Structure 1
Amino acid sequence: MPLMPGSEPYEHEGGEVGVLLCHGFTGTPQSLRPWAKHLAAAGLTVSLPRLPGHGTTWQEMNRTRWEDWYAELERAFENLRGRCAEVFVMGLSMGGCMALRLAEVHGRAVRGVVVVNPSIVNDVPLLKLAPVLKLVVSSVAGVANDIKREGVTELGYTRTPVRAAATLPKLWSLVQSELGRVTQPVLVYHSPEDHVVKPASVELLRKVLGANLTVRECADSYHVATLDNDAPLIFEGSLDFIRAHASVPLQRD
């Protein structure tokens, strides 16, 4: 299946500190590529995979489920872990949810977590009907490209594949049920004006993670803050986070 131009994964070989980044639901690595390149320029080893069913067609994505996306992220994590002394995980939206899942599963093997507008709560009423809806319609309106900055576009599907979306509640429930296992430092970037993910996800993280959590606002961005006006704050802030929590020096720090 041909890829949408610009949706290719990104890899950079740097020093002993690795970073794994995960894009969001129906999105592509394009939404995180500037972030990945910023971290790579600081001497980090960086991996930004393309999740199965993404970057091709929404029809193909309808043949995948959350387990397929997470399996690809696990594969990339193990590969990075084998090349680096320690690994940080980061993600946008659903990618943030799966980054937290990696932290739950792998414990100390994940050094720290940075997430941007994470989606870990089912706050979309339509998804409650997804098990039935998927039998009636194959797609609904898309959620990509929620960006405040003019002239910037997220590469993602204009339609949401319903059968794929119907698997999300199981992922959310699983992550919520084991959030207490996350003992690593967690940094969250949150856009108060987000037209895709409601505040409930960040509120849950505040409740469960407590002092282990730092939340910073992206006051001038919408959902895809990694491509929006506050992107430089995210890029530099995540790099500062790594410098503060890594036990080995960055290659060109």
Structure 2
Amino acid sequence: MTEAVMAGAEPFAFGGGKTGVLVLHGFTGSPQSMRYLGERLGERGYSVLGPRLPGHGISPAAMAKTTANDWVACAEDALLELSAKCDKVFVTGLSMGGTLSLYLAALHPDKVAGVIPINAAVQVDSPDMAAVAFARNMPEFVPGIGSDMMDTSVKELAYDQVPVTCFKQVIGLAAAARALLPKITCPTFVINSRVDHVLKPHNATIIASHVGSDRVELLWLNNSYHVATIDNDKDLIASELHSFVQRQL
């Protein structure tokens, strides 16, 4: 029997004009973390697609059965779907979603008009995560990493446990995206929180300094932690992302 998707974790799509924005959620998270941004972009007339990555928004056990290949394939399928009905498509994502957005920009330059990684991972500098990624005799799950936000009144719909088998997947995906940065030639807008308890903020400067694009912008967020898309800077992100897209049209 297929497990049900958690309430609030459903994928979303908003019909709009010929400019599309693909929004990708993060590792162990769900489309819930990107829905606010998607709604604001939809209100501005964009065609918006927010897929649910395989294994996410269901259960940690469901996620344990997936790999980075599955997450990449889902993101690529969503890009193709949006590209089929839009003249230009921009890709944004939070955390691992940002990693996926960079991956898409590098490998599908004909389909990505601009990329906006938000607190993205291209270097997972976590000794704890590295220590368990290939270790023997580890438990199947370890405590989760979700809901890192300055605004404590909001909760991210993310797993409270992480499948250990998925750590090596996200580390590998981040490393691949890091190596692919020079292949990104589209306009790039890096958005990053100054304080992030999940990923080190220097990921932002690595991205900005290594992409092959000659149009790179960097915005630092002072009032949000890792899940910035539903934190205090969520409206700033929406308006700055809109402005960036308009500059490329």
CA distance in 1, matches of 2:121, 2:8: 24
Counterpart of 1:167 in structure 2 is 169
State how far apart, in whole Å, the 2-side matches of 1:60 and 1:212 are: 39
Which segment is superposed worse, 203-212 or 39-48?
A: 203-212
Shift in CA distance, 135/13, structure 1 to aligned 2, threshold 3 Å: farther
2:233 is the alignment partner of 1:223: no
Partner of 1:234: 237
Structure 1 residue 174: Cα displacement? 1.3
Look up the match of 1:19: 21
Q: Matched residue of 2:131: which SS?
A: helix
**Alignment-derived partner of residue 92 in structure 2:** 90
Higher relative contact order (CA 8 A, sep 6+): 1
Separation (CA, whole Å) in 1 of partners of 2:18 and 2:208: 31
**How far off is 1:211 after superposition?**
5.0
Note if 1:9 corresponds to 2:11: yes
Give how far 1:167 is off: 1.1
Residue 76 of structure 2: aligned partner: 74
* Aligned-partner SS, 1:79: helix
Deviates more, 1:65-74 or 1:202-211: 202-211
Query: Which one of 177, 180, 194 corresponds to residue 179 of structure 2?
Result: 177
Q: SS of 1:21's equivalent?
A: strand
Unmatched runs of 5 consecutive residues or more in structure 2 = none
Displaced runs of 4+ in structure 1, greater than 6 A?
none
Q: Could you tell me the TM-score, scaled by structure 1's length?
A: 0.94
Equivalences for residues 1-253 of structure 1 within 5 A = 1-133=3-135, 135-209=137-211, 212-246=215-249
* Contact 1:123/1:200 (<8 A) preserved: no
* Count of residue correspondences: 246
Q: Does the CA-based 8 Å contact 1:134-1:166 persist in structure 2?
A: no
Give deviations 1:134-179, integer Å, cap 9, x for gaps: 6421111111000111311100001111111221222122111121
> Please, which moves more after superposition, 171-180 or 133-142?
133-142
Unaligned runs of 5+ in 1: 247-253
Contact 1:108 1:184 in 2 (8 A): no
Distance, in Å, in 1 between the alignment partners of 2:110 and 2:134 is 40
Q: 1:65 to 1:135 in 2, by over 3 A?
A: farther
| 1:169-197 deviation digits (Å, cap 9, x = unpaired) | 22122111121011111111111111001
Q: Answer whether contact 1:206 1:213 (CA < 8 A) is retained.
A: yes
TM-score, normalization by structure 2: 0.95
Aligned counterparts of 2:216 and 2:143: Cα–Cα separation in 1? 33
Say if 1:167 and 1:234 are closer, same or farther in 2 by CA, change over 3 A: same
**Deviation at residue 76 of structure 1 after TM alignment:** 0.7
CA distance in 2, matches of 1:205, 1:132: 26
